[in-house]
Structure formats: structure tokens, C-alpha cells
Structure 1
């Protein structure tokens, strides 16, 4: 595996020393160039987490992946660049069932730099663009929205600011995206949940074929047979969505032209209802 080829894959150049500026640079470039996608599952194959296989898929074949893949390989890159990286486990709040997933539902990481802790995540479909400071619970405003890390009990909740409800009080509304602790984890800890997400009717990744990429002006997503384009206003606070139904041929064309993805096996688009999990967390 070659660090320089990985950096070239995400459009980074020049000396990349382990500084905050570099961390922000590679994090942003990663989410702008490497799609969040689960298409491997929907071409009848299995996701494998060995680092050389992830490198081959994401860097050499220019694919993307879901959290265990994108964050799994990105954590390796940061370590190779000299950053102090700790792997963390998170539990995602499913926007369809409104239930939290089990431990190891989501792979994220903490970077310690000059006495400061940063949350990094390049493997979440609607996540932040730049690392979030773990040293504050104040809102952290970025180009695509505002985020905050709120501690409650044993968990830290990663939240995104959302539009106030029409019938509400006009106060700020925050949507919980996932929760996590700062307990250090190992890569192998996530294998069972990676298998779960490839076969469970309670997993969004099994029930819906997804491919999504952050854009400077919003986001482009294919879910099942639908193309969803999110466009942000100039201040980044208002978003408009357009949805278009796609044929199989159009999906193949958009994957190639907009995501740089050419699949070697036929894709079976999928978008079925998620079964609420029998256990809540």
C-alpha cells in the first residue's frame, strides 16, 4: 500500500505533515472524492475488511465504501502520516426506524493532536466535512451545516442542526445522528457488525442500495432507482432536494460520470422497507 498514491486518489498534493491543517485538508478531500456506497452488497459480493483489499478497492479501483471501509482505510492513512489515531465505535440512529443500532454499528476515529482531540468520520452518508473538536459542546459551523457534540451520561451524541418545526417554538432543533464513547477499539471488533449489515433486514445497507458523494454545493445520491440531488443555498443553511427515477442504464451512466464508478458485475438496485430491529439500544 502506497501513501502517496492514496493521497493522489483523494486529490491531495504537497508535503503533508501531521498538523491540523493537513488533517482538515485530507478529511475534506476524502469526503469530496471517495463515495459513501454499499454497491458491493448489491452486486452479489461480500465486503471484506483486510486493509490491502480496501486499498485495492478504494485507491486502485477508485470505488468507495461504507464506514468500515472508508474509515477503516482512512484511519490507516492517518496513522501512516504520523497522526495519533484511536478507533471508536458508534451507534447510528436510523432515520427510517428512529432506533439506534448496536455497538460497532459505525466505525469512527479520534485524532489527538497537540493536546486537542478531534472526531474524524469520512464514512457517513450525511456527515460533517471537517474534523469536529471533541473539546467543546458548542455548535461547530461548516459549509454544509452546523454540528455539535453533546455529552449525556456515558455517551457523546453527534448532532446536526435541522430546520425548526413549523408548529414549534422557533428554538434551535438538533437531530441526533449517532452516539459513541471514547473507548479504544480494534479493527477486528467490527467484523461481526459488518457481516450483519450485509444480511440483516434491519440494516439500511441490506435493504437499500446506496451511492452518495458530497459536492461543494450539496450532495448527489443514488438510492435504489432514485437520483437525489441536494443543493445548498449560498449561506449553506437552506437545502433543496430534487428526486428523479432512473432506469438501469441511467444508473450505470451516472455511476460512471458522477461517481467515477464502473462495476464489474450487474447491480441489482434495491430500496425496500427496513424492518425495525427486535432489540433497541
Structure 2
């Protein structure tokens, strides 16, 4: 493996962060949002002849030097390195995502998330989730609703399991329905614990990352998503228009590389095979 210098300042520049980088709540919140606005959540390596590997220098080279993105194991692994280098106390946790296509939870080690302890409080950080991920860390010390922009989130505890849930704009309020995003425990994990599931997500017909080529990034006031042969532009509600506006553009194969470069800043070294297949429900449910 070629040696890669991991430069903290270059990483901060990659995500557009300026100002004092100290272990404070304000800095953590800003870093979290900057990362989501700059680094896509994507699985394009899987669909362009490559394999995702979790060595930190490789992740740094991909995300910082080559201005790519990644899925949770990649984005959150590198974000953990950043927070740790800045002096934050970070613990790796394992989550299980509720698949919005199959309605099933993924296996253990399905999702890589971060717990940050700061000034006697606990925060859940996650820059490795697409829709409907949260833009700033969520407090782990309350089950009360936590409002962010047009969405409301909460972390509900049931015995040893915690559930991250959200309400859509038109569904908010005391009587609204909560939708589960993923569940997790507070058991400390290591990066190596996720190796097997990282391979699973690149080879299993029950994984969204194997079945669909995708790339999504948060934008001020909205979100931009590529999936298969579609480009989806989401505009969040405003005071003038209180509804989410979705625009879908159909893409031809030859248009996709240009869209990835222009809209996401991504240039692939190999040809992308666009994919948008139905996900097979897992034989074992969790």
C-alpha cells in the first residue's frame, strides 16, 4: 500500500471548515454539518469495478485527496479520526438500519456510528447516512424531540436498545407518527468489527449498496441524489412553500459521468455500471 500523508488541515479544507478547531460543542456541530455538505454518501466504488477497504490512509486518500465520498464505514471512520485528532473523546458504536425498501433491520454491524462525550454530555454523530440523516449531532441524554430544519428527530430507549426516529414535515407534532431509522446499543466497538459487514454490503442482494448505484449529498436548503438512471433534486420547505419539492431527471448512461462530475465533484477512474435493482429481503430478520 502506498504511504499517504494524513494532513488535518487538508481534511478541514476539504469540508470547508474555517476557524479554531477545538473540542467544543459548537465546533463539533459545525464539523458535522460541513462534512455532510461537502462529502457525498455514495457507493460508486462498488459499481465501478472496485472494492471498499477500511484502512484509514486509503479512506483519507479517497475522500480528501480524490474528493470522493463513501458509505458509513468510510465516512464515519474518517470523521472519527478527525474528531480524535482534534481532542474529542469518540467511541465507535454498531447500528442496524431499518431498510426503507424491505422494512427489515439489517444484521449487527450494519451501520457504523459515533458516540462523542463532551463536557459531561453524550452526542450521537453520523456523517455516513443518506436520507433521512440528521445534519447536526443528536443528544443521547434526552428522549425529547430534537428539531432540525424541517425535520424532527428523537432517540428512544427500549431496554438496552436505542432507536433513532424521525417525523416528516407533514407528520410533525404530538400526534404524528415516528418512523424508525436505525437501532443501536452503547457497547464499544472497534473498526475491525465491521470488516465482514463491509464485504456483505458490497456483495449481498439484500443490501442497497449492492443493488443500487447511488450518490447523495446535503445542500443548503435541500439535497441532491443520484440513483441508477435518475437525478433527484429535493428542496426543503420554506416559509413561502411548506412542502418538500422533488424533481426527477432521467439520465442516459453517457450522461451519468458528467452529472457526477458537475453535481457532486466526482470523477471515477473506471466505468460506472448504473444499477437500480429491487432489494431482496434477507432470509433472517433482526
TM-score for both structures, normalised by structure 2: 0.94
Other-structure match for 2:229: 225
Other-structure match for 1:82: 87
Q: 1:78 to 1:144 in 2, by over 3 A?
A: farther
Q: Secondary structure at 2:203's aligned position in 1?
A: coil
Deviation at 1:222, TM superposition (A): 0.5
Q: 1:22 to 1:155 in 2, by over 3 A?
A: same
Deviation at 1:52, TM superposition (A): 0.2
Partner of residue 128 from structure 1, selected from 103, 128, 134:
134
Partner of residue 47 from structure 1, selected from 52, 59, 63:
52
Other-structure match for 1:94: 99
d(CA) in 1 for partners of 2:233, 2:101: 19
Other-structure match for 2:3: none
254-263 or 237-246, which moves further after superposition?
237-246
Other-structure match for 2:15: 10
| 1:60 corresponds to 2:77 | no
d(CA) in 1 for partners of 2:42, 2:242: 25
Q: 1:105 to 1:237 in 2, by over 3 A?
A: farther
Kept after mapping to 2: 8 A contact 1:129/1:144:
no
String of CA shifts for 1:110-136, please: whole Å, max 9, x gaps. Answer: 000000000000000020000000011
| 1:145 corresponds to 2:154 | no
d(CA) in 2 for partners of 1:237, 1:87: 37
d(CA) in 2 for partners of 1:171, 1:7: 41
d(CA) in 2 for partners of 1:241, 1:14: 35
Kept after mapping to 2: 8 A contact 1:203/1:274:
yes
d(CA) in 2 for partners of 1:69, 1:238: 33
Partner of residue 209 from structure 1, selected from 209, 213, 222:
213
d(CA) in 2 for partners of 1:63, 1:249: 20
Partner of residue 244 from structure 2, selected from 234, 239, 245:
239
Question: Across the two proteins, how many residue pairs are aligned to each other?
Answer: 278
Partner of residue 26 from structure 2, selected from 21, 24, 43:
21
d(CA) in 2 for partners of 1:245, 1:276: 27
d(CA) in 2 for partners of 1:118, 1:258: 31
d(CA) in 1 for partners of 2:254, 2:87: 44
Runs of 5+ consecutive residues of structure 1 not aligned to the other structure = none
d(CA) in 2 for partners of 1:13, 1:231: 26
Kept after mapping to 2: 8 A contact 1:93/1:177:
yes
Q: 1:273 to 1:176 in 2, by over 3 A?
A: same
155-164 or 209-218, which moves further after superposition?
155-164
TM-score for both structures, normalised by structure 1: 0.96
Report the aligned-residue RMSD: 1.5
Structure 1 runs (4+) greater than 2 angstroms displaced: 162-165, 235-238
d(CA) in 2 for partners of 1:36, 1:249: 22
String of CA shifts for 1:206-255, please: whole Å, max 9, x gaps. Answer: 00001000011111101101111111111596312121210123211111
